[in-house]
């Protein structure tokens, strides 16, 4: 059994016991490093990633009781992170007027952030240039499929909009194939392909 599966089972057991505080603490500790890497990869701005991570931790802490178990806990947590990212793009923190007050979840998020070293250096300038040509949704699709290695069904669940629902896995696969073709063309135009 993988370490992530053991941690997820532990979180589910804590939820079954209605121990929301310990379940949220375990979830942030177990999924925090991966979520922070996801946010860094999608947002590519350390300050925005830190703000989004704090917001994610707050939402997970407050909303853990709403987890219904229809997906893996990991998928649910990444969906929260995806929604935070979307909100950040629509309404940057600088326009909010106030920051979150420091609470248990924020303190825990700060601890995970401090303990989580940046594992991968920023992509070379040419690769960043390619990524800049992509929409946020396209970037999320790439990160979730390639970096996080989620299945198409899990990606559909993570990318679901409340109003529109989840895109079908087949639709996501088609988008991904078109995106790969577009990236290959852009890389060729930039002289990145031999």
- Statement to judge: residues 157 and 133 lie in one domain: yes
Same domain for 15 and 54? yes
Final residue belonging to a domain, choices 104, 122, 140: 122
**Domain end position, chosen among 72, 97, 122:** 122
* CATH assignment of the domain containing 181: 1.10.10
The whole domain housing 170 covers 123-194
- Please indicate, yes or no, whether residues 114 and 135 belong to a single structural domain of this protein: no
pLDDT in tens, 122-174: 345 667 777 778 888 888 888 899 888 899 999 988 888 765 777 889 999 99
What does the alpha-carbon distance between residue 50 and residue 102 come to, in Å, rounded to a whole number? 14
Percent of the chain whose pLDDT exceeds 90 = 36
What span, in angstroms and rounded, lies between the C-alpha atoms of 183 and 91? 28
* 77 plus 12 within the same structural domain: yes
- CA–CA distance, 190 with 184 (Å, rounded to integer): 10
Which strand (E) or helix (H) includes residue 88?
helix 73-90
107 in the same domain as 152: no
Residues 108 and 128 in one domain: no
CB-based burial, 17-53: b 16+ in 10 Å, e otherwise: eeeeeebbbbbbebbbbbbbbbbbbbbeeeebbbbbb
Same domain, 1 and 65: yes
Q: Per-residue pLDDT tens for 11-24?
A: 999 989 999 999 99
The residues, ordered by sequence, that sit 6+ positions from 57 with a Cβ below 8 Å of its Cβ are: 28, 32, 105, 106, 108, 109, 112
Q: Specify whether 37 is located in the same domain as 92.
A: yes
> Is the distance from CB of 82 to CB of 73 less than 8 angstroms?
no
pLDDT digits (tens, 9 = 90+) for 71-90: 899 999 999 999 999 888 77
Whether 7 and 98 share a structural domain: yes
| Residue that finishes a domain, picked among 122, 146, 180 | 122
Give yes or no: residues 169 and 194 share one domain.
Answer: yes
Q: Give the whole-angstrom CA distance, residue 114 versus residue 47.
A: 14
Q: Are residues 134 and 114 in the same domain?
A: no
């Amino acid at each position: 059994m993988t370490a992530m599966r053991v941690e997820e089972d532990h979180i589910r057991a804590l939820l079954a016991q209605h121990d929301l505080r310990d379940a949220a603490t375990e979830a942030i500790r177990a999924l925090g490093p991966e979520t922070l890497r996801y946010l860094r990869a999608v947002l590519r701005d350390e300050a925005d990633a830190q703000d989004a991570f704090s917001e994610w931790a707050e939402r997970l802490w407050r909303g853990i009781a709403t987890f219904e178990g229809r997906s893996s806990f990991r998928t649910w947590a990444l969906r929260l992170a995806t929604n935070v990212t979307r909100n950040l793009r629509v309404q940057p923190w600088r326009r909010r007027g106030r920051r979150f007050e420091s609470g248990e979840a924020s303190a825990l998020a700060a601890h995970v952030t401090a303990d989580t070293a940046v594992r991968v250096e920023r992509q070379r300038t040419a690769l960043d240039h390619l990524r800049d040509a992509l929409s946020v949704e396209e970037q999320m699709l790439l990160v979730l499929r390639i970096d996080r290695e989620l299945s198409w069904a899990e990606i559909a669940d993570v990318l679901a909009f409340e109003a529109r629902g989840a895109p079908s896995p087949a639709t996501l696969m088609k988008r991904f194939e078109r995106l790969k073709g577009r990236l290959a063309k852009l890389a060729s135009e930039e002289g990145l392909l031999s």
